[in-house]
Amino acid sequence: MQQPLNYPYPQIFWVDSSASSPWASPGSVFPCPPSVPGRPGQRRPPPLPPPLKKRRDHNTGLCLLVMFFMVLVALVGLGMGLFQLFHLQKELAELRESTSQRHTESSLGKQIGHPNPSSEKTELRKAAHLTGKSNSRSIPLEWEDTYGIALVSGVKYKKGSLVINETGLYFVYSKVYFRGQSCNNQPLNHKVYTRNFRYPQDLVLMEGKMMNYCTTGQMWARSSYLGAVFNLTNADHLYVNVSELSLVNFEESKTFFGLYKL
């Protein structure tokens, strides 16, 4: 029976002082022949150590897996942090824009004298601006309330008059532009008055009179302007009257009549 070649056996030496070999001397050392499996006196080989390489490979793979998960968790946390930071920056930008817009609207409202619509309830402003009407041929004067730069808001226009529908303080104004081809220096009157069923007669609010305003025989032009604050009551009707209707120039920028509530 042949000895297996894949099992290395260590060399064992023994000493036999009684050996009778002709070439052996006392105390000679001879190598012990390796034992053959299956024979009497067979010596078993020493146990082999465990495969450390496989254990090391297993431990290394486990460490790499743990490190991979730790890096993955760190990356996920970093991504969530960046997302939250971006979201907060966006909200901050929107808040700044909204605050800036409210501040601008408030500043504009203060500059033009209007209340802030976000803080106070807006209401219809009571105002009117009537312009000259070229086909006016009667006294008191008739006015244009629709076309051009004319407007009526919160009050009424009725047959040449502005009708007040709410008692309060009003600024009333009127301007009449007179012009002529020749001058005779006749007095020119310009009046604003009010009429109400509670009054026995019309009340003059404002009056202007011009005299010696031109040179005889020459063309001329003059303006008469009236304006003041009055406490008007509900149902008051305001009119404008002139002494010489034929001398009035009815251009909308030269002859007009209006009011607004304070």
* Count of C-beta atoms within a 10 Å radius of residue 255: 26
Query: Residue 150 sits in which domain range?
Result: 127-261
Tell me what pLDDT residue 119 has.
Answer: 46
What are the tens digits of pLDDT across the range 206-261?
A: 999 998 888 888 899 999 999 999 999 999 999 999 999 999 999 999 999 999 99
What are the tens digits of pLDDT across the range 9-34?
A: 555 555 555 545 454 455 554 454 55
How many structural domains does the chain have?
1
Residue 156 domain-assigned?
A: yes
Residue 96 domain-assigned?
A: no
- The H or E element spanning position 94 is helix 52-112
Question: What is the average pLDDT across 189-193?
Answer: 95
User: Of residues 199 and 206, which shows the higher confidence score?
Assistant: 206
Position 118, amino acid: S
Question: What is the average pLDDT across 176-181?
Answer: 93
Residue 85 domain-assigned?
A: no
What's the CATH number where 148 sits? Answer: 2.60.120.40
How many angstroms separate the CA atoms of 2 and 258, rounded? 136
Q: What is the CA radius of gyration of the chain?
A: 59
The share of the chain scoring above pLDDT 70, in percent, equals: 69
Residue 20 domain-assigned?
A: no
DSSP string of 51-89, one letter each residue = -HHHHHHHHHHHHHHHHHHHHHHHHHHHHHHHHHHHHHH
pTM (two decimals): 0.54
Q: How far is CA 87 from CA 1, 83, 91, 115, 127, in A?
A: 84, 6, 6, 35, 49
Residue 153 domain-assigned?
A: yes
Q: Is the pLDDT of residue 1 over 80?
A: no
What mean pLDDT, rounded, does the chain reach?
Answer: 79
Residue 192 token pair: 């604003």
Tell me what pLDDT residue 118 has.
Answer: 47
How many angstroms separate the CA atoms of 185 and 178, rounded? 12
Q: Looking at the DSSP assignment, which residues form a beta bridge with residue 220? A: 180
Residue 114 domain-assigned?
A: no
Residue 4 domain-assigned?
A: no
Residue 220 domain-assigned?
A: yes
Most confident of 1-15, 52-66, 179-193: 179-193
Q: Is the pLDDT of residue 192 over 80?
A: yes
